[in-house]
Structure 1
Amino acid sequence: MNIFEELQTNEKGLTSLEAEKRLEKYGRNELPEKKPEGFFSIFINQFKSPLIYILLGAGVIVSLMGEWADAIVILAVLMLNAIIGSFQEGKAQNTILALKNFVETKATVLRDDKEIIIPDGEVVPGDIIILQEGEKIPADAKIILSNNLRVDEAAMTGESKPVYKNIGDDILKGTVVVSGNARAVVFATGQNTSIGKIADKISEIDTEIPLKNNIKFLSTIIIRIVLVLAIIVFAVGIWHNHPVEEMILSVVALSVSIIPEGLPVVITLVLAMGVWRMGKRNALVKKLQAVEALGQADIIAVDKTGTITKNELVIKKVFINNNFYEIEGIGYEPKGDVKLNNEYINPIDDSDLVYLAKISSLCAEARIMFSSEDDLWHISGDPTEAAVLVFGQKIGFHKEELNKQYPKLEDNAFNYQKKYRSSLHNINGKKELIVMGAPEEVLNLCTKMYNDGKNIEIKKEEIEKILCKMLNDGLRVIAVAQKSGKEFSFIGFLGMKDALRLGVSDSILKTQNAGIKVIMITGDHKITAKSIAEEAGIYQKGDKIITGTEMDNMSDDEIIKEINNVSVFARVNPEHKLRIVNLFRSQGKIIAMTGDGVNDAPSLVAADLGISMGKIGTEVAKEASDIILLDDNFETIVSAIEEGRGIYKSIKKVLSYLLSTGLAEVLVILVALLLDMPLPLIAVQIIWLNFVTDGILDASLAFDPREDGLLNKKFEKPNKYLIDKLMAQRMIIFSLIMGIGTLLLFKQYYMIDITKAQTICLTVLAVFQWFNVWNCRSETKSIFNKDMFSNKFLVYGTIAAVLLQLAAVYNPFMQSLLGTTALTIQEWEFIILMASSIIIVEEARKFFVRST
């Protein structure tokens, strides 16, 4: 074939040495990615916010009025805020890029005439790649061997229907094998591939800040409040004969007081930390919006294999000719003894067992390979078929030798509708069709059964009793049949088991205690599914099980009536999965769905949260999902839910603190104007409070450790403004205490010394904030019962805020900048006594909540 000469390769593949040379010559098989945003671009983006526009407008106004000190401070604050925001956003971007590297696509290639699995970045022109169902094609290649290969080229052509590919056809990097298998020789890698030439059109991991809609709604409300209050304050001031210039400065001060300048920075910080922590717990968040759905999930629909089980299907028991054989061994290692009637036998001497192993191995189309890197056996292809090949090797058969001895004439991959696969072989000069799949479907085809080397009339009742016995043992059973002439003959059963992961039952219990219902969706038989679900704690007494066949005969309304009592869906296909997801969503439920196969992609996309498997998942499933479990473990889902809820709690803490401070400042200014008093605070002082005091403390609060008990009750979903009833109540209480306390002190001093009065106002509000940030650590726990040093950043932040406030009051330069003056010890005593009222009132509220 000319392609071999052109690429200087052959059907046995490249040598390892030649592959290394070509990797150096052609470079890694990677697409040119869009460069991450640079610091300057991120910096400019910090100013693209309606909240910042208001502050910029305020700076322009005060500068036009000659208040240069205020203008400089506002500008300095905006610049510093942007720098800090850029730094945090850059860290978030780097975190996601680093986590992205955890998910590395693999490719199976021939090197030195051996099949090996390598990172697809190491594929080079001239490599022979081996493709199986569910795999993403790693490079542009020409097919040299095809077995019913169908490829989904939607990513390249937009054509949704899979295309059959034959020998000589080209296949493209980034497209997906939907069914069948093939071998192909690579002729282009990296940016030389078809997709590499249009790389700018490739969708990348979405690093968009989550909750942006919630923040957008909140920002809109804040802006509207600013505009309404500004008009009211200006009108009231003019009505009370205040000078226009003074009222403009008052409006500026009011606007500045409401705007939570540090909010975007802190939310970026909280989210970046959450994503980083999720990564450490083996959950790769592709779309940060997933955090939102994760913490709020009502339903988790799990695909049994790999998530709650180890995904190491091992054939434990086989039945043929009225005998049960016990097969020993661990995982995919092709070694294990065989027992018949509790006695070890030499399997190659048992003609029945040899026959079953040979026939089933011929029909299986997976691959088993040993990796010297981790000293483990790995598979490529369907795990069920891999288990069959391992069984065959334990008996003494190797797939390659069987194919040579009994050439394959036709192969039909597993059909999700028919629930079986088939292959046609030339066996001793005769065409023999072998079928392997779901027992009920395979038995429906059979009119004969294998018995003592002959085919006799099938005894279905007896066979079905045998099947029930194996299913009740918790085995996943597949049936094997052979067609000679016009009739199918039942050969035997293969019973396999995939053990539960260690600790999965505890994880499911935690999830249920968190108010989240766990359902299992599986292709297994109803009896097997019930056994495994019961062992895992998913199925409880009184729960219902619905099969795919039953679903086909039920309307949506009929299923909805039953769905809340169903914990297991058995014998389902991908279409059923999609229907289940949509039915739960139609009830207003937030559903998270796990999946690993090509056909799981639609349901992963349809679910509020798609979760794919990092190890066993196909590339299609990974791309369709929002979160990838790097260890394929259900425990990781539980950890990620806890992190998601912790992120929301952190955001609530920060919002409670920031907005209560802003409301207090508004109250102070508005009431002072209504009572015809001078401004208690000038714009530059409010900026100081909002950025320096608040900025340090809210960022420190973001580092508060995750609260206990996040999984002990159902999660209360936040509304679109992120503020719930309790938050609103607390913010009103905090702002009233701070506002009234500040005005009482201001009233005592402003007639004597306005500079002193404003300094006291500035300082008492700062002290209120020092105390209030500790209040905000918990909605119910006393600040005296929480470990102060569990958040060292808050301890250091509070010390820093105190030192900076002392500088603001006593440093001559700061005095001239902020318009402050020195305070006496007695004045500090009044201030601290007044500010401590916020702790007393909040502690009383918390005590009342704990008591009821």
Structure 2
Amino acid sequence: MGAITTICTDKTGTLTVGEMRVSHILTGTNELLDFAQKNALLQTKNTDIAGHAKALHIAAIVNDAYAEGARHDLHEEGNVHGRPTDRALLIAARHVGIDVDAFRMRYPEIDKELFTSEKKYAIRVHEMEGDKVKIMILGAPEVILQKMRFVDANNVKMPFSKRDEKQLTKTLEELTKRGLRVIACGERVLTRDTYDRLSKNKRYTDMSLVGYIALKDPLRHDVESSLAKAENAGIRLTLITGDHASTARSIMLELGHNVPASKISVGDAISEMSDDELQERVTDTQIFARVLPEHKIRIVRALQKNGEVVAMVGDGINDAPAIKASDVGISVGNGKRLNKGA
């Protein structure tokens, strides 16, 4: 361990506690709600959901978390299981009375696409009344926006203008600068006949933007002091995350690092770099944002080629390949440390 010169760390569940909570909900018409005021969203009928609650409803449906036990006990959190983001969204929905199980029983799921790091979105398709089909999408805002042509204004479909997009982008930037993870959601309703005739690519276009959900994951209480000790020992810190660059920068700021834009690289740019270019880029990059698992491996190997002894710290399955590629791999989630001779 004493030979380590660079620590590469994931964010969620590593620097943070890995317990996401819904913080804010933003509608497609740029109305922001602090979730502390969630009583305003209390629902009695899923069929009447609109506005902020509708965004939360979609996020709970396009979701792999699940609740055990009695369906009526919507406020019990201990029986909700799943990945941190999915779990947080389902818990928030249940807190305001959104009954996901009731929706799924009434409106059968007929198709789905699971979230992947490459696509950055997930989809659920449900059969609705009147021979209609509802497509719901959830994912990274920059990806979701490319599929939107309309905006949902309290269940009224309106054109999505450049002015709307500009206003929303400004609000989103404010949220990500607070260190919040932001996801976007949208929908499209088609007749069953139209749905069956369209290719998948055609189905998932011309959608209506419903809104955004911001989530907060607090820093671990001991992470600041632990990193300070490492830095005092001359070890360099590099944050590698799938989150938005502004979110990552805010987390580093909380840790006392004001990282300039020149020292931030994003996944799309990494994909375009040759190994030699990346080897040069890693010398002064402090944050790698919106990265894929394969980017993490390339970053670790580029640092090693520069003579660095690299420790990779992570907690998710996406971190496993980079942990194995590093000189010292530390898996925070299960407490295991894989020391490979550093």
TM-score range normalised by the length of the shorter chain? 0.7 to 0.9
Answer yes or no: is 1:530 the counterpart of 2:249.
yes
Which among 123, 130, 133 is matched to residue 431 of structure 1?
133
Cα pair 2:58 2:138 within 8 Å, conserved: no
Residues 1:420 and 2:139 aligned together = no
Change (3 A) 1:541 1:358: closer
Alignment counterpart, residue 479 of structure 1, candidates 180, 184, 192: 184
The C-alpha deviation readout for 1:546-567, integer Å capped at 9, x for no partner, is: 0001111222222222312111
Q: Give the drift of 1:604.
A: 1.4
Gaps of 5+ in 2: 70-75, 191-202
In the alignment, is the contact (CA less than 8 A) between 1:508 and 1:538 conserved in 2? no
Alignment correspondent of 2:285: 566
Counterpart AA for 1:472 = K
Report if aligned partners of 2:311, 2:330 keep a CA contact under 8 Å in 1. Answer: yes
2:35 pairs with 1:327: yes
8 Å CA contact 2:177, 2:247 repeated in 1: yes
Partners of 2:185 and 2:212 within 8 A in 1 = yes
Number of equivalences? 312
Matching of residue 347 in structure 1 with residue 66 in structure 2: no
Aligned to 1:102: none
Deviation at 1:378, TM superposition (A): 6.2
Partner of 2:144: 442
Partner SS for 2:125: strand
2:157 aligned residue:
455
Change (3 A) 1:394 1:481: same
Given that 1:539 and 1:568 are in contact with CA atoms closer than 8 Å, whether structure 2 keeps it comes out as no
8 Å Cα contact 2:56-2:213 kept in structure 1: no
For 1:591 and 1:407, locate their aligned partners in 2 and report how far apart those are by CA, in whole Å.
49
Aligned to 2:170: 465
Matched, 1:545 2:267: no
2:57 maps to 1:362 = no
The equivalent of 1:604 in structure 2 is 323
Identity %: 32
TM-score after normalising by structure 2: 0.84
Q: Per-residue deviation at 1:315?
A: 0.6
CA-CA distance at 1:501 after TM superposition: 1.3
Q: 1:542 to 1:404 in 2, by over 3 A?
A: closer
CA 1:614–1:410 in 2, change beyond 3 Å: closer, same or farther? same
Q: Which residue identity lines up with residue 309 of structure 1 in the other structure?
A: T
Shift of residue 411 of structure 1? 2.0
2:95 is aligned, of 389, 394, 404, to 394
> Tell me, what secondary structure is at the counterpart of 2:13?
helix
Contact 1:481 / 1:489 at 8 angstroms: preserved in 2?
yes
Go from structure 1 to structure 2 and tell me whether the alpha carbon gap of 1:319 and 1:542 turns closer, same or farther (over 3 Å shift).
Answer: closer
Per-residue CA deviations over 1:357-388 (Å, capped at 9, x if unaligned) read 22221111113469xxxx97265332111111
Residues in 1 aligned to 2:55 and 2:259: alpha-carbon distance in whole angstroms: 37
Retained in 1: the 8 A contact 2:30–2:167?
Answer: no
The one-letter code matched in structure 1 to 2:134 is E
Query: How far apart, in 1, do the equivalents of 2:275 and 2:4 lie?
Result: 22
How far does the alpha carbon of each residue in 1:314-365 deviate from its partner, in whole angstroms, 9 at most, with x for none? 011001133111113xxxxxxxx52xxxxx6353287323322222211111
Farther-moved stretch of structure 1 (294-303 vs 393-402): 393-402
The reply on whether 1:295 has 2:41 as its aligned counterpart is: no
Secondary structure in 2 aligned to 1:312?
A: coil
Contact 1:313 1:383 in 2 (8 A): yes
- Contact preservation (8 Å) 2:26, 2:213: yes
Write the distance in 1 (CA, Å) between the matches of 2:219 and 2:273. 32
In structure 1, the residue corresponding to 2:308 is in which secondary structure? coil
CA distances 1:195-254 after superposition (whole Å, capped 9, x unpaired): xxxxxxxxxxxxxxxxxxxxxxxxxxxxxxxxxxxxxxxxxxxxxxxxxxxxxxxxxxxx
Shift in CA distance, 379/614, structure 1 to aligned 2, threshold 3 Å? farther
**Matched letter for residue 150 of structure 2:** K
Residues 249 and 259 of structure 2 are in contact (CA less than 8 Å); yes or no, is this contact kept in structure 1?
Answer: no
State the SS of the aligned residue for 1:295: coil
Q: 1:381 to 1:529 in 2, by over 3 A?
A: same
Deviations 1:88-111 (A, max 9, x none): xxxxxxxxxxxxxxxxxxxxxxxx
> Counterpart of 1:306 in 2: which secondary structure?
coil
CA contact (8 A) 1:312 1:383 kept: yes
Q: Is the 8 A contact 1:408 1:424 kept in 2?
A: yes
Q: Secondary structure at the match of 2:94?
A: helix
**RMSD in angstroms over aligned alpha carbons?**
2.4
Report the Cα offset of residue 598 of structure 1.
2.6
TM-score, length-scaled by structure 1: 0.35
Which residue in 2 is equivalent to 1:556? 275
